[in-house]
Each structure stands twice: as C-alpha cells, then as structure tokens.
Amino acid sequence: DTEVTQTPKHLVMGMTNKKSLKCEQHMGHRAMYWYKQKAKKPPELMFVYSYEKLSINESVPSRFSPECPNSSLLNLHLHALQPEDSALYLCASSQGSGAGLFTEAFFGQGTRLTVV
C-alpha cells in the first residue's frame, strides 16, 4: 500500500471560516509534508514533520496551522484565509527526512481549496 489519502477532495470556504484538511498514510513513514500548488506551477513546500515534530516551516503565514496528531495523520488547520490562498494543497510522506532515509516521497491526490 503506497497510498496517501487526503480529505476532502474539494473545499470552498469563506474568508471568516475555519476548516481543516486531513492527510493519512499507513506506510509507516515518519516524515510528512504539506505543499501548496498554484495552477501551472510546481508544488511549493510549506511544512515538514519528522517523527511527529515540526522540522521545517517555510515562512508560511500563521493562518495556516499544521498538526501531526500521530505518525499516520497530518492536519492543516485553516483560518481567515484570503482568496489568493486558493490552490491545490498536497500532502506527501516519505520513509524519513534524514540522510539515508529519504528515498522518495509519495503524494496524495490533493485538496482543491477555493476561498471566496
């Protein structure tokens, strides 16, 4: 099983709403990632979790709040977003993020977020 599952697939939210994106993997991977992808652009890294601890935050605005409740789950809490935050949000996982452990990353199908 090389599957990373993201829910929901589509989300429309107002600028005053609070919502959460969810990501799950059962491959025993200890590193999980959030990426943001705008149309016709490559994915941009937002956050890296390694062994359930946040190891990288790529200067992401605080209206995006990641959470890693356990080694299989990764959430992204959204609050007071702006229309320019509309994008495809991708979750990924890898065996690890350290030397000798990062061999490849597996991506989910993404959540298409529209902020109105």
Partner 1 sequence: GNSVTQMEGPVTLSEEAFLTINCTYTATGYPSLFWYVQYPGEGLQLLLKATKADDKGSNKGFEATYRKETTSFHLEKGSVQVSDSAVYFCALSVVSGAGSYQLTFGKGTKLSVIP
**Residue 9: DSSP 8-state:** S
Give the residues across from 108 on adjacent strands: none
Single-letter code of the amino acid located at 11: L
Q: By the 8 A CB rule, do 23 and 108 touch?
A: yes
Among the listed residues 11, 21, 31, 115, the single contact to partner 1 using CB under 8 A: 31
Closest CA to 84 of 115, 109, 49, 111: 115
Tell me how many helices (H) and strands (E) the chain has.
0, 11
Which residue, 6 or 64, has its beta carbon nearer to partner 1? Answer: 6
66: contact with partner 1 by CB under 8 A: no
CB of 103 to partner 1, least distance (A): 7
106: contact with partner 1 by CB under 8 A: yes
- Strands 44-50 and 31-37: what pairing? antiparallel
Among the listed residues 50, 68, 74, 93, the single contact to partner 1 using CB under 8 A: 50
Among the listed residues 41, 61, 114, 116, the single contact to partner 1 using CB under 8 A: 41
Note the residues at the interface with partner 1 (CB under 8 A): 4, 6, 31, 33, 40-43, 45, 48, 50, 55-56, 88, 90, 92, 94, 97-99, 101-110
